[in-house]
Amino acid sequence: MPAWPTPDETRIATLGTAARPSPLLRAAEPFVDDAERVLLSTRVADLTAGATPPSFERAGPRRQIFHDAATLGCGIVTCGGLCPGLNNVVRSIVLRLWHGYGVHRILGFRYGYAGLATRHGHAPLTLTPDMVEPLHNQGGTRLGTSRGPQDVDEMLEHMIELDLSLLFVLGGDGGLRGAAALAAEIARRRLPIGVIGIPKTIDNDLAWTARSFGFGTAVEAACRVLAAAHVEARAAWNGVGLVKLMGRHAGFIAAHATLASADVNMCLVPEVPFALDGPDGLMAAIERRLAAKHHVLIAVAEGAGQELFAATDGSRDASGNLKLQDIGTLLRERIAAYFATRGVDVALRYIDPSYAIRSLPANALDAEYCLVLGQHAVHAGMSGRTNMLVGSWNGQLVHVPIPLAVHGRRTLDPHGEEWQRVLESTGQA
């Protein structure tokens, strides 16, 4: 049984009493009562008799709102690496604020948190429905992005100077940690400024969020690359297709692309260590596959096999992530060397499509999901909620406290059903 969060850990912070009637009352909106909750577990065995079952607050529009739309100023910032759907979410937020709530002062901060820090000189963009109208068809982010933290006081002072009372942060683990730091300083100063997160991690590894936008697009694109690598491998005698996919600490993209492809023979993920040499090592497995079928297709997540490298110096990138060694290059070199020593010719094709995938426009399912995430983020912000994100759990959109979401990382369970399905699909040991 997992360690479920306590009621205190799932409680959503608010700026105060929501006393204003929502303008959505005119539109027959399906409003959500504050008491509505979504269970964390769907298993009866996880529910303790007599105890309040762990749950999240259900997302959706409220009948009463906190902010005065006529005077409200809002900001939007996109942080971290690119991800399909960023523009879709920005567009959704702007349109819902403008047309749903009548908020007409919306600023887009450029180049991530650097745009919130005045010393960088990035003037914010004024966002209107006309400006964001075409964004959902474009990859990347119209606002620009960057990695790395900025001074919290400097960012907050800039928001105060611009008279903003609501900030929407599209970010992953690092971006949301920055949002939590901002929210904490705002609370310390007792300011009526809300901070709402929309989880953006293409690896789909944010805790307590079952699905992040862009993940479906990444899996779909990865499948096309795997299909091409499979064609290349089958076209040559002893053809080896090696595809490196995104996934620093979680192998969800590699695993789900493997399942959707059904052509992958070996899937390597960070959660499952593997050996290169010996009778049970990867090289021997490739050799057996080539002897039997004369072609092999391998999908490897970028964070897989880090245990195969010598200890690193612990250096980190601007977001604070430990810099990874290049598993794709290592495997390419070791496979070539292994078969050269055996006098066996192999046709090795190595593909790393990471940047080509993350810059794509969102596919249809992600585009729909982004639209709903943006809308529900606006509903949460207008109701006076803060230091929370809109996430997906048990088929429902829910409110998750940002500190809870960034406390850990969601990963593949090596003993779970997802990984078992991968093993059954590939036939790997």
Active site residues: 203
DSSP state of 325: P
DSSP assignment of 330-356: HHHHHHHHHHHHTT---EEEEE--HHH
Q: Tokens at residue 197, please? A: 């997160």
**In contact, 389 and 402? CB cutoff 8 Å:** yes
Q: H/E element holding 284?
A: helix 282-293
Contact 362, 88 (CB under 8 A): yes
**Three-class SS state of 224:** helix
Distance CA 221, CA 2 (A): 33
CA distance 404 to 409: 10
Q: How many residues does the chain have?
A: 429
| Cβ(246)–Cβ(217) below 8 Å | no
Nearest to 365 by CA among 214, 206, 168: 214
Q: Are strands 385-386 and 13-14 parallel, antiparallel or unpaired?
A: antiparallel
Q: What single-letter DSSP state applies at residue 243?
A: E
- CA atoms of 399 and 73, how far apart (whole Å): 22
| C-alpha–C-alpha distance, residues 402 and 387, integer Å | 6
In three-state secondary structure terms, 106 is strand
Contact 13, 386 (CB under 8 A): yes
**Phi and psi, residue 189, nearest 5°:** -85, -5
The H or E element spanning position 58 is: strand 55-58
Integer Cα distance of 389 and 371 in angstroms: 15
Q: Which residues 6+ apart lie within 8 Å of 153 measured at CB?
A: 185
Q: How many whole angstroms separate alpha carbon 247 and alpha carbon 179?
A: 23
396 and 247 Cβ atoms separated by less than 8 Å: no
Q: Per the structure block, which two tokens stand in for 166?
A: 């609501």
